[in-house]
Amino acid sequence: MTVEPILVMQGICKSFPGVNALKNAQLRLFPGEVHALMGQNGAGKSTLIKVLTGVETPDAGEIRLNGQAISPACVGEAQKMGITAVYQEINLCPNLSVAENIFIGRFPMRAIGIDWKTIEHQAAAELAALNIHIDVSLPLASYPVAIQQMVAIARALTTEAQVLILDEPTSSLDEGEVERLFQALRQLKQKGMAIVFITHFLDQTYAIADRITVLRNGEFIGEYPASTLSRLDLINTMVGREINEASYAANSSAQAASVADKPYVSARGLGSTGGMHPFDLDLYRGQVTGLGGLLGSGRTETARLLFGIDRADSGTIRVDGHAVKLNSPRQAVRYGIAFCPEDRKNEGIVADLSIRENIILALQARRGIFHYLPKRAQSAIAEQYIEQLGIRTSDAEKPIGQLSGGNQQKALLARWLATDPKMLILDEPTRGIDIAAKLEIMELVKAQCKKGLAILFISSEMSEVLRVSDRIAVLRDRQKIGEIAGHDADEQNVFRMIAGAEA
Amino acid sequence: MRFSHHINSRTLPLIVTSLLFVILFGFGSIAYPSFFSAQVFINLLIDNAFLCVVAIGMTFVILSGGIDLSVGSIVALTTMVTASLVEHQHWSIYSVIPLVLLMGAAFGMLMGVLIYVFKLQAFIVTLGGMFLARGLCYVISIDSIAITDAAYTEISQYRIMLGDEVFISINAVIALITLAVAIYLAQYTRFGRTVYAIGGNERSAQLMGLPVGQTTILVYTLSGFCSALGGVLVTFYMLSGYGLHALGMELDAIAAAVIGGTLLTGGVGYVAGSLVGVLILGVIQSLISFDGTLSSWWTRIAVGVLLCLFCLMQRLFERGGTSFSALFAYWKKPLEPAGRAD
């Protein structure tokens, strides 16, 4: 087949302050194909899409549409060129009617203004094509998220697009809805549209994609026909093999035999609708339990359930043998559970406060505002942890925002250690920090664990999970599919489990 | 008919407001013998025409998710500039009015540019505009300037007879025309729908490829224009220019919009609602003046209570969004098989 590609992106580079989001990324699209763009969290998929749709301007590289170089400066411009995107978070206006959301920006006009009748008829017809029959004159907000997502897709379909980008469109759809979407996509494919499909569901990738492009750390790794790339190979290319040896070397879980025989926290059938399928999980003191799984497999959801951020609608939690209800983080903190969230900048540090104030925050919150911790005591605690965790700073009064990512993370760790927790949940503690700092953090985690802390360790880098964990709970598609003891596990084991029997 | 179909959490505040107006007017008609007449009703419009025009501009700003605190001051500045040019410089009314309208629009546009291009908060920028415009009034004169120009007094006193006894002023006619144009703008033009979209979710509007910047600036330009037009109506109504005219009118305009069912968070509301809001403020005033024993400050008390009640009501609708429409579902049932057919 000697069809010319409709769109070629080559040598795309984009860096944000402190991060190289894209290094020499590329993407080729042919008319009449569904192209899956795959990669781990932070691989640069979204940035690549943003460059293509004019949300971001690339630092280098070229985009050719039908052989002509283009450089869309804004979304509207990209749309006029025939490049339309549906984003993961629904980008519609909840206050407008369904019909209006589909047509706003390109209303059919009559002599006296917007032709509302035509809009409502056409909108209903477009949705009917996706097998959705709803009252299109009602505001979008009156429908559930899945319908909103379909409306977003219907909006994209009504544009005269040559290139349609779907960025995780299925995360809120159920199987029937996904199937309907796929039917619509197949029809569009036959009309010669090129479709970019981003998802973290492997099943869906293989159900719809013709070809797959894999990105890793902002770099182009390869382009493969979907039929020749096995699931295991796909996971391996996404994750990268080269870190394998490192993960083997340091796991010393055999020593961690001094585990208490009773779990500190024990979840039975814990689950939430729309979140995690019910799962069992035991967390022992003196043991690091890792959560293994790909992006979207439910790692953070698990942590949020255990910390009481999301409410469980099924199952029970026992803490130290007593059945408890965890309905808010406050309660979880009272039971000695601490949580370092994934999004360090927004949910973790308070950038303008000093290191001391950041470290003391959780402890003070626990004491209540009327038991003010004297400044001297605060300084003592801060100094102690700065020394103990090796936080590199000139003094404790420096705003935490000025520290490097690794040192911020250590300060966050200190914040929770200062409250003397029994269990610590670490969600992506090593994201966005350099290798040396990562190793340091992992050592700290293990050291704290030896002191009798129960730790739940979450990381999107499987090698890290393997390195620190005594036990790994493996997740896939928001389901716990099994556990592996740390010393038996290597990446291939885990990935084979995630890929399932078909691999 | 399909009326019941249109009752939902968005139209309900407007319906409640309209009902409230009818009730208040009905109450007045029963309590005071001479209250129930077409002229009393039309007087509400005549006496509040300028507020109505200003509130219309304000409604667009609030719909877009912003706020404009400068409107009262722009009204005052417009009266001052008009009075000064007409009385001291002896300019013709036909050159003064276009000039002040242009001035108001330019003032609004400038604030819009500051808000959008430099990402400043609308509250602060228009607060600055408010002080600036009010201050400029006193640069022209610290005293009130009476307008004695013949053309002005003629327009001011002109009465359009509707039937034998009922009349309407030019001001009220201008307000009604402004309202009609505004409703058209809001419902049938791309500009209007983009305003709603921005109020609903600015980032989404951007990602849908809508001209967010242009529209934001236009919204403040429109509000500036409406304020200047309101100022012109004040000069017709009061026949004077004064730096103390329209003190606190920005807050009356916001109150009218909110009572009229416009959500302060943007994206939800109707321009027509603001007319009803203005009429409610007017009818409360009339009731108190008909009563004769109450101080006029009772208007403020009533408005304060109403505002709190309306905000509370809107929050309940907002929160109960779906459960609330469920309340009305039995009306809809025979009309529309809502929901998805699988």
pLDDT tens sequence across B166-188: 899 999 999 999 999 999 999 99
Tell me the DSSP string of A331-356: HHHHTTEEEE-S-IIIII--TTSBHH
Please, where in chain A does CATH 3.40.50.300 lie?
Answer: 7-239, 270-336+423-444+452-503
Confidence class for position B99, pLDDT limits 50, 70, 90: very high
Closest residue in B to A54 (Cα–Cα): B207
Q: Does B336 reach chain A within 8 Å, measured CB to CB?
A: yes
Task: Give the closest residue to A421 by CA, choosing from A334, A350, A357, A291.
Answer: A334
Cα distance between residue A238 and residue A431, in whole Å: 17
Q: Can you give the pLDDT at residue A378?
A: 87
Best A93, A109, A118 residue to mutate vs chain B (most B CBs within 10 Å): A93
> Over 60: is that where the pLDDT of A250 sits?
no
Strand partners, A223: A213
User: Which of A64-73, B17-26, B175-184 is modeled with the greatest confidence?
Assistant: B175-184
User: Which of A35-49, A261-275, B174-188, B252-266 is modeled with the greatest confidence?
Assistant: B174-188
Stretch A37-55: mean pLDDT: 83
User: Cβ–Cβ of B204/A100 closer than 8 Å?
Assistant: no
Task: Give the closest residue to A45 by CA, choosing from A77, A88, A92.
Answer: A88
Q: Can you give the pLDDT at residue B9?
A: 63
Residue B217 near residue B113, CB atoms below 8 Å: yes
> Over 70: is that where the pLDDT of A308 sits?
yes
Q: Can you give the pLDDT at residue B8?
A: 64
Phi, psi of A9 (to 5 degrees): -115, 130
pLDDT tens sequence across A77-131: 888 888 888 887 778 898 899 999 999 888 888 888 888 999 999 999 988 887 7
Domains in chain B, CATH or no CATH each: 4-332 (1.10.3470)
User: Cβ–Cβ of A104/B208 closer than 8 Å?
Assistant: yes
- The least confident of A31-45, A469-483, B4-18, B312-326 is B312-326
Residue A455 near residue A209, CB atoms below 8 Å: no
> Over 60: is that where the pLDDT of B323 sits?
no
pLDDT tens sequence across A157-168: 887 788 999 888
SS3 A52: helix
Alpha-carbon dihedral angle through residues B157, B163, B168, B170, given to the nearest 10 degrees: -70
Sequence-distant (≥ 6) Cβ neighbours of residue A30 within 8 angstroms: A3, A4, A5, A6, A194, A211
Cα distance between residue A145 and residue A92, in whole Å: 11
> Over 90: is that where the pLDDT of B47 sits?
yes
Residue A233 near residue A501, CB atoms below 8 Å: no
Stretch A140-160: mean pLDDT: 83
Compare CB distances from A95 to B188, B200, B338 and report the shortest one's residue: B200
Phi, psi of A197 (to 5 degrees): -125, 120
More confident residue, A405 or A282: A282
- The least confident of B3-12, B52-61, B118-127, B144-153 is B3-12
User: Cβ–Cβ of A100/B193 closer than 8 Å?
Assistant: yes
> Over 80: is that where the pLDDT of B330 sits?
no
User: Which of A132-146, A219-233, A264-278, B74-88 is modeled with the greatest confidence?
Assistant: B74-88
Compare CB distances from B209 to A105, A113, A141 and report the shortest one's residue: A105
> Over 80: is that where the pLDDT of A256 sits?
no
Contact residues, chain B, for A113 at CB < 8 Å: 184, 187-189
Confidence class for position B66, pLDDT limits 50, 70, 90: very high
User: Cβ–Cβ of A113/B188 closer than 8 Å?
Assistant: yes
Stretch A9-36: mean pLDDT: 86
User: Cβ–Cβ of B200/A94 closer than 8 Å?
Assistant: yes
CA quadruple A402, A407, A409, A411: dihedral sign: negative
More confident residue, B56 or A472: B56
Residue A446 near residue A288, CB atoms below 8 Å: yes
Residue A42 near residue A63, CB atoms below 8 Å: no
Query: What ipTM was predicted for this assembly?
Result: 0.81
In chain B, which among 124-163 make CB contacts under 8 A with chain A? none
Task: Give the closest residue to A273 by CA, choosing from A149, A145, A169.
Answer: A145
More confident residue, B305 or A200: B305
Cα distance between residue A159 and residue A102, in whole Å: 9
Strand intervals (E) in A30-176: 34-38, 60-65, 68-70, 83-86, 109-110, 113-114, 163-167
Percent of all residues in chain B with a pLDDT value above 90, rounded to a whole number: 64
> Over 80: is that where the pLDDT of A403 sits?
no
Q: Does B194 reach chain A within 8 Å, measured CB to CB?
A: yes
SS3 A62: strand
> Over 90: is that where the pLDDT of B13 sits?
no
Over A393-432, what HEC string results? CCCCCCEHHHCCHHHHHHHHHHHHHCCCCCEEEEECCCCC
What's the number of CA atoms in the CB half-sphere (13 Å) around residue B205? 25
- The least confident of A146-150, B45-49, B230-234, B336-340 is B336-340
Q: Does A147 reach chain B within 8 Å, measured CB to CB?
A: yes
Residue A324 near residue A318, CB atoms below 8 Å: yes
Q: What one-character DSSP code corresponds to residue B271?
A: H
Confidence class for position B338, pLDDT limits 50, 70, 90: very low
Confidence class for position A259, pLDDT limits 50, 70, 90: low
H helix runs in B201-297, sequence order:
202-207, 212-238, 249-259, 271-291
Task: Give the closest residue to B274 by CA, choosing from B285, B258, B286.
Answer: B258
Q: Can you give the pLDDT at residue A418?
A: 85
What is the fold of A270-336+423-444+452-503? Answer: Rossmann fold (3.40.50)
The nearest CA of chain A is from the CA of B70 a distance in Å of 27
More confident residue, A288 or A177: A288
Strand intervals (E) in A30-137: 34-38, 60-65, 68-70, 83-86, 109-110, 113-114
> Over 80: is that where the pLDDT of B320 sits?
no
Contact residues, chain A, for B193 at CB < 8 Å: 96, 100, 104, 107, 114
CATH class of A7-239: alpha beta
Sequence-distant (≥ 6) Cβ neighbours of residue B130 within 8 angstroms: B69, B70, B72, B73, B250
Q: Does B190 reach chain A within 8 Å, measured CB to CB?
A: yes
Q: Can you give the pLDDT at residue B5?
A: 55
Sequence-distant (≥ 6) Cβ neighbours of residue B22 within 8 angstroms: none
End-to-end C-alpha distance for chain B, whole angstroms: 28
Q: Can you give the pLDDT at residue A321?
A: 83
Strand partners, A27: A9
- The least confident of A170-184, A323-337, B15-29, B207-221 is A170-184
pLDDT tens sequence across A411-429: 888 888 888 888 889 888 8
Q: What share of chain B is helix, strand, coil (3-state, %, to 5)?
A: 70, 5, 25
Q: Can you give the pLDDT at residue B335?
A: 38
More confident residue, B262 or A297: B262
Q: What is the mean pLDDT of chain A?
A: 82
Q: Can you give the pLDDT at residue B108?
A: 97
Residue A161 near residue A193, CB atoms below 8 Å: yes
